[in-house]
């Protein structure tokens, strides 16, 4: 991150990957990042709900985010982890392939999401290009395109009909 | 050893008020929440003084006093009634039952202390 | 001291709430014709206790009102005032004012206007209940006169001690005509009575107390002492004469005799120097207890009340500390953190001491304790078997479990609290609508999560208002329809599995579906050609902006309707069901989650996954013998239970779990709900224990077939089966398969 970006940034996002795509969510919604732990499966729920886990005494649903977004299910591996987020007071864990970074961005950098990018474009708040650290410590000046997720739109209670 | 007082009142706040103000005056306090319980506690703790309310469920204060006086061992135990009632008729009943004295609620801690010392040096 | 008093006062307010509930139940019973001595005594005692505590905490208005109310109750109790419907009505409205006074004392409401109620009570006292007040058209049949209560009060003249009390006021003596000169003195003559001695009134203590005031014994008259043969050691024979300096107030002297009057001989005479002792002028000193007015005055120096909010945070910090210690140094015994002042400010270990705590803090505590339990078992796993057997670990586990049990029980409260304001509301509604409404309450002791109780208040109010206003017909309509003139509203609560059912049932006209549908079309809620079932039409009542009343009534038409009920209940993770029969009445049922209820559960394994069966539904467990389970069709089985065939369900059918175990190697748990019985095939039964129900609604949404989830001791989650849904689904359950 350059100093310039840092001073100008007005919000922080957590970036992570699903397959080859990089996503970002608002840092404010993040509660914690946990290792993958097999959740307790639930009956009669859409397949993207992997089950429920115990988060400090709270029973929270664990969601296969890739499937939720309509992509191929994530394959579990060593860096698989769960982003625990709070959406309108409800907590949920999202299974992601790898957590990358915490990045400061400015609202002005966010571009509207193109309609055709995903099946359900409403879950994408917008796009933002960030510069990424390469393995040798230099910066990739082309940067990476990050899809910012609209967590409200991902709210699980919106899928009551699917679950019933 | 400081004097041991058994307080019998169905109101927890009243029991606590009594305990707080009497403990501060150097008494040891045991309590019971109705007449029946009070009678049991009398036998268990054998207090130097009994302070009882009148209006209580199960066994009221009058019955408790009578029952306590009926036990030879407690014949000489002073009994104070602590009640919001103040009619002569009620006091007379308490006296007939065997009460030593009567204090009208609400009580003032120092006056209560003086009243206790009057029956239980 | 102030903290202690605040806490005690908080307890007093809790007692007020209980007392008010008791009084209201008693008064309602009296209204219904139960004027037994017990009922009346119960109401009296409740009001009396409120008065007593109010006096102690300096709530003068509350004390004064309770006092007047108590006077009437005392007369009723003594049989001097008959509890006629008119008198009971006055008492009921006095009860309402008393409740308002309690709110005022809590600092939650401005002082109520109690003038009318006081006047009504005064009138009852003055009339001795002879005048039955204004006609009460809807009142029940006149109640029978009560039997005289307890022993008939002895009139003072019949005093068994032969002593007739004489009215006496301290004021007559407290202001002597001339300032007491040091030369003036008091002469006191005192002869204790036999009764005082019998009551453990030790005369020497009184003499000693007089001496501390400055008295000296002038003479002891022993002339009454009989010969030894006639001497009764329990009788009193001595008469003391004491002299007391004149500057000692007479009230102080009177105080000394407080307990021995009136049956003892007490003479207090003032000797002025100018007129030396003119023999004795006996003044009977009989009464030194405060006059009624004085009883109402606060006598304890009080610090203004501030509601107690416990600093549970400190406690949770300790729990966290314990968790941290356990995790950080599992092999080192850690001394328990020393209790801090804030964690244990309690003045006395009283059995029924209470404290008010923020719910979110309780939740936090519960979650932390859950963590503690889990760390505990992890720690146990890491220890060698030998270390595991040492006494510390089982002890730690036991203590942790006890903490957990206790914390769990903290949130549950009887639903009575939510129901408590209904009777008064109905009394008001009865007046507003001119309808006679009887209330029936069932299941008040059902324990519900405190948060749920607090949140169902508003929906409940709406449902009751709706039932009174729209559900019940007018008295004329009811008579015309051949129904009893009084309408009934039945309020009930019951727990079924992980859900609580709260019903408001009226025996009114039922839902007029024609009109509801017409209204819905008119309001654009449904299209004119919509084809709806009866149930769907009934549900329209809960549609936003719907109101069927021709005129917006003052009662339920305050711009909000049943749609608010529905949204409130749904916000709680529940739902509203409506059942109506034309001409017979309507039932509204709130089905709510017991977010933190505790369930007595059987922990079973289904296809090696753990589930909880609510024990209340379990009838028995059998190990099926060969042939006991019979296939009745390719996908249905029954078990022969002593000749009764009970449908059998397998995990595979229910949840699409992989279950290839033979039924003979399994156990069949027979469960029952109101829909019937089902035999559930399980692998094993692991345990039987109380579990905390964690609602799935909290972070997800309700799932059919599940009543919630619970966290087991090892931190894993077990799903709680909803037996109701399970049994109901027999033969029509469509397995969807588990998410893999």
Residue A84 confidence class, pLDDT cut points 50, 70, 90: very high
Sign of the alpha-carbon torsion through C576, C577, C581, C586: negative
Q: Is C279 a member of any domain?
A: yes
Helix (H) or strand (E) holding A54: strand A49-55
Distance between CA atoms of residues A31 and C564, nearest Å: 33
Q: Do C190 and C59 lie in a common domain?
A: no
Of the listed ranges A92-101, C349-358, C519-528, the least confidently predicted one is: C349-358
Residue B47 confidence class, pLDDT cut points 50, 70, 90: very high
Q: Do C655 and C681 lie in a common domain?
A: yes
* pLDDT score, position B51: 93
Domain assignment of residue B72, given as a range:
4-119
User: Which residues on neighbouring strands pair with residue A130, listed in sequence order?
Assistant: A144
Q: Which residue has the tokens 């992997």?
A: A50
Distance between CA atoms of residues C697 and C707, nearest Å: 10
Q: Is C711 a member of any domain?
A: yes
Distance between CA atoms of residues C694 and A58, nearest Å: 8
Closest chain C CA to residue A53:
C717
Residues of C in contact with A84 (CB under 8 A): none
Tokens of C505: 């049932």
CA distance A40 to chain C (A): 6
Helix, strand or coil, per DSSP, at residue C123: helix
Q: Is A43's CB within 8 Å of C716's CB?
A: no
Q: Is C140 a member of any domain?
A: no
- C567 CB within 8 Å of a chain A CB: no
* pLDDT score, position C552: 42
Q: Is C258's CB within 8 Å of B101's CB?
A: yes
pLDDT exceeding 70 applies to what percent of chain C? 71
- Closest CA relative to residue C36, chosen from C124, C147, C127: C147
Q: Is A163's CB within 8 Å of C703's CB?
A: yes
Tokens of C279: 């023999």
CATH number, residue C634: 2.40.50.180
pLDDT in tens, A36-83: 888 998 887 888 899 999 887 788 999 999 888 888 888 888 888 999
**Portion 41-80 of B in contact with C at CB < 8 A:** 53, 55-57, 69, 75-80
Q: Do C548 and C448 lie in a common domain?
A: yes
Tell me the C-alpha to C-alpha distance, in Å, between residue C369 and each of C316, C329, C345, C406, C487: 9, 18, 22, 10, 49
* pLDDT score, position A161: 36
Beta strands at A49-55 and A58-64: parallel, antiparallel or unpaired: antiparallel
Q: Provide DSSP, C668-679.
A: EEEEEETTEEEE
Q: Would you say C708 and A40 are in contact if contact means Cβ atoms under 8 Å apart? A: no
Distance between CA atoms of residues C588 and C569, nearest Å: 12
Q: Do C504 and C624 lie in a common domain?
A: no
Q: Which residue has the tokens 């390719």?
A: C634
Q: Do C565 and C421 lie in a common domain?
A: yes
- B27 CB within 8 Å of a chain C CB: no
For the cut 90, the answer to whether the pLDDT of residue C502 exceeds it is yes
Please name the member of A42, A50, A56 whose beta carbon is closest to the beta carbon of C371.
Answer: A56
Q: Do C566 and C603 lie in a common domain?
A: no
Q: Would you say A36 and A64 are in contact if contact means Cβ atoms under 8 Å apart? A: no
Of the listed ranges A30-34, C291-295, C360-364, the least confidently predicted one is: C291-295
Q: How many domains does chain C have?
A: 5
How confident is the prediction for chain B on average, in pLDDT?
86
CATH number, residue B44: 3.40.50.2300
Q: What is the CATH number of domain A3-163?
A: 2.40.50.180
Q: Would you say C323 and C376 are in contact if contact means Cβ atoms under 8 Å apart? A: no
Residue A116 confidence class, pLDDT cut points 50, 70, 90: low
Last residue of a domain, one of C410, C431, C452: C410
- C654 CB within 8 Å of a chain A CB: yes
Q: How many domains does chain B have?
A: 1
Q: Do C470 and C536 lie in a common domain?
A: yes
The residue that leads in pLDDT, C347 or A116, is A116
Residue C588 confidence class, pLDDT cut points 50, 70, 90: very high
CA distance A154 to chain C (A): 12
Q: Do C576 and C449 lie in a common domain?
A: yes
Residue A137 confidence class, pLDDT cut points 50, 70, 90: low
Neighbours of C653 (CB within 10 A): 19
Last residue of a domain, one of C67, C101, C127: C127
For the cut 80, the answer to whether the pLDDT of residue A155 exceeds it is no
Output b/e per residue, B101-110; b: 16+ Cβ within 10 A: bbbbbbbbbe
pLDDT in tens, B77-120: 889 998 877 777 888 888 888 888 888 877 777 778 888 887 87
* pLDDT score, position B114: 82
CA distance A128 to chain C (A): 30
Q: Is B88's CB within 8 Å of C287's CB?
A: yes
Residues of C in contact with A43 (CB under 8 A): 654-656, 703, 705-706, 719, 736, 738
Q: Any residues with CB less than 8 A from the CB of C580 and at least 6 apart, and which? A: C510, C511, C538, C586, C587
Domain assignment of residue C192, given as a range:
171-286
Going from N- to C-terminal start, the domains of chain A cover: 3-163
Distance between CA atoms of residues B120 and B98, nearest Å: 16
CA distance B39 to chain C (A): 17
Q: Is A50's CB within 8 Å of C703's CB?
A: no
C-alpha neighbours within 13 Å on the C-beta side of residue C31: 22
* pLDDT score, position C604: 92
Q: Which residue has the tokens 């309609």?
A: A115
**Portion 599-638 of C in contact with A at CB < 8 A:** 609
Closest chain C CA to residue B55:
C45
Q: Do C14 and C36 lie in a common domain?
A: yes
* pLDDT score, position C487: 92
């Amino acid at each position: 991150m350059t100093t310039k970006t840092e001073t100008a940034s007005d919000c922080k996002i957590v970036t992570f990957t699903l397959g080859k795509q990089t996503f970002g969510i608002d840092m404010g919604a993040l509660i914690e990042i946990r290792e993958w732990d097999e959740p307790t499966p639930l009956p009669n729920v859409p397949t993207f709900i992997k089950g429920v886990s115990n988060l400090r005494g709270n029973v929270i649903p664990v969601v296969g985010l890739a499937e939720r977004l309509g992509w191929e299910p994530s394959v579990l591996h060593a860096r698989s982890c769960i982003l625990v987020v709070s959406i309108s007071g409800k907590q949920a864990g999202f299974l992601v392939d790898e957590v990358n970074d915490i990045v400061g961005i400015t609202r002005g950098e966010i571009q509207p999401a193109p309609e055709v990018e995903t099946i359900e474009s409403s879950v994408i708040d917008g796009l933002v290009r960030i510069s990424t650290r390469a393995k040798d410590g230099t910066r990739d000046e082309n940067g990476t395109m990050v899809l910012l997720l609209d967590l409200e739109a991902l709210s699980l209670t919106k899928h009551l009909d699917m679950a019933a | 050893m400081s004097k041991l007082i058994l307080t019998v009142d169905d109101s927890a706040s009243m029991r606590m008020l009594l305990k707080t103000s009497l403990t501060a005056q150097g008494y040891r306090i045991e309590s019971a929440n109705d007449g029946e319980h009070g009678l049991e506690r009398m036998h268990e703790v054998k207090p130097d003084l009994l302070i009882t309310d009148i209006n209580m469920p199960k066994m009221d204060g009058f019955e408790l006093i009578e029952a306590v006086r009926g036990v030879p061992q407690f014949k000489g135990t002073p009994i104070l009634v602590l009640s919001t009632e103040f009619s002569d008729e009620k006091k007379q009943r308490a006296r007939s039952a065997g009460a030593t004295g009567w204090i009208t609620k609400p009580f003032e801690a120092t006056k209560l202390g003086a009243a206790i010392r009057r029956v239980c040096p | 001291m102030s903290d202690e008093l605040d806490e005690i006062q908080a307890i007093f307010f809790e007692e007020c709430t209980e007392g008010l509930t008791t009084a209201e139940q008693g008064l309602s019973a009296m209204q219904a014709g139960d004027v037994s001595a017990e009922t009346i005594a119960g109401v009296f005692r409740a009001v009396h206790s409120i008065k007593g505590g109010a006096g102690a905490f300096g709530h003068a208005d509350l004390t004064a009102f309770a006092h007047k109310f108590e006077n009437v109750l005392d007369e009723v109790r003594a049989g001097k005032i008959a509890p006629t419907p008119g008198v009971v009505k006055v008492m009921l409205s006095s009860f309402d004012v008393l409740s308002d006074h309690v709110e005022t004392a809590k600092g939650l409401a401005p002082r109520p206007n109690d003038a009318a109620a006081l006047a009504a009570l005064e009138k009852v006292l003055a009339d001795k209940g002879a005048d039955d007040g204004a006609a009460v058209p809807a009142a029940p049949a006149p109640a029978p006169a009560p039997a005289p209560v307890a022993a008939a009060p002895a009139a003072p003249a019949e005093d068994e001690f032969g002593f007739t009390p004489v009215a006496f006021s301290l004021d007559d003596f407290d202001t002597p005509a001339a300032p007491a000169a040091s030369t003036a003195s008091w002469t006191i003559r005192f002869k204790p009575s036999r009764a005082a001695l019998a009551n453990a009134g030790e005369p020497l203590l009184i003499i000693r107390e007089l001496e501390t005031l400055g008295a000296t014994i002038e003479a002891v008259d022993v002339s009454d002492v009989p010969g030894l043969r006639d001497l009764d050691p329990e009788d009193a024979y001595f008469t003391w004469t004491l002299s007391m300096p004149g500057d000692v107030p007479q009230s102080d002297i009177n105080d000394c005799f407080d307990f021995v009057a009136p049956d003892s001989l007490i003479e207090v005479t003032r000797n002025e120097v100018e007129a030396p002792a003119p023999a004795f002028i006996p003044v009977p000193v009989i009464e030194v207890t405060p006059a009624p007015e004085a009883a109402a005055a606060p006598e304890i120096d009080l610090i203004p009340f501030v509601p107690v909010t416990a600093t549970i945070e400190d406690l949770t910090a300790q729990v966290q500390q314990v968790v941290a210690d356990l995790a950080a140094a599992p092999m080192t015994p850690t001394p328990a953190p020393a209790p801090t002042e804030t964690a244990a400010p309690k003045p006395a270990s009283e059995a029924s001491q209470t404290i008010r705590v923020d719910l979110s803090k309780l939740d936090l505590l519960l979650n932390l304790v859950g963590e503690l339990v889990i760390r505990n078992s992890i720690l146990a796993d890491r220890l060698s078997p030998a270390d595991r057997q040492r006494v510390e670990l089982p002890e730690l586990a036991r203590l942790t479990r006890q903490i957990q049990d206790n914390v769990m029980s903290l949130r549950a409260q009887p639903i009575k609290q939510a129901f408590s304001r209904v009777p008064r509301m109905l009394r008001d509604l009865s007046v507003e609508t001119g309808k006679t409404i009887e209330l029936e309450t069932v299941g008040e002791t059902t324990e519900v999560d405190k948060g749920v109780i607090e949140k169902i208040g508003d929906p409940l109010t709406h449902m009751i208002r709706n039932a009174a206003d729209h559900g019940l017909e007018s008295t004329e309509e009811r008579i015309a329809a051949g129904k009893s003139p009084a309408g009934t509203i039945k309020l009930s609560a019951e727990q079924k599995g992980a859900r609580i059912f709260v019903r408001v049932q009226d025996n009114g006209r039922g839902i007029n579906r024609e009109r509801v549908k017409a209204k819905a079309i008119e309001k654009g809620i449904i299209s004119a050609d919509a084809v709806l079932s009866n149930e769907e039409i009934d549900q329209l009542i809960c549609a936003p902006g719907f109101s069927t009343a021709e005129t917006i009534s003052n009662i339920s038409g305050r711009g909000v309707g049943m749609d608010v009920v529905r949204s409130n209940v749904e916000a709680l993770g529940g739902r509203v069901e409506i059942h109506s029969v034309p001409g017979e009445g309507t039932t509204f049922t709130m089905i709510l989650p017991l977010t933190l209820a505790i369930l007595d559960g059987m922990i079973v394994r289904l296809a090696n996954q753990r589930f909880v069966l609510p024990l209340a539904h379990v009838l028995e467990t059998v190990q099926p013998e060969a042939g006991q389970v019979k296939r009745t069709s390719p996908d249905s089985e029954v078990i022969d239970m002593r000749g009764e065939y009970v449908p059998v369900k397998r995990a595979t059918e229910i949840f699409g779990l992989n279950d290839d175990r033979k039924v003979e190697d399994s156990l069949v748990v027979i469960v029952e709900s109101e829909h019937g019985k089902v035999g559930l095939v399980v692998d094993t039964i692991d345990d039987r224990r109380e579990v905390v129900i964690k609602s799935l609604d909290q972070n997800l949404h309700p799932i059919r077939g599940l009543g919630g989830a619970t966290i087991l001791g090892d931190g894993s989650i077990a799903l709680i089966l909803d037996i109701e849904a399970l049994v109901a689904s027999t033969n029509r359950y469509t397995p969807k398969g588990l998410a893999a």
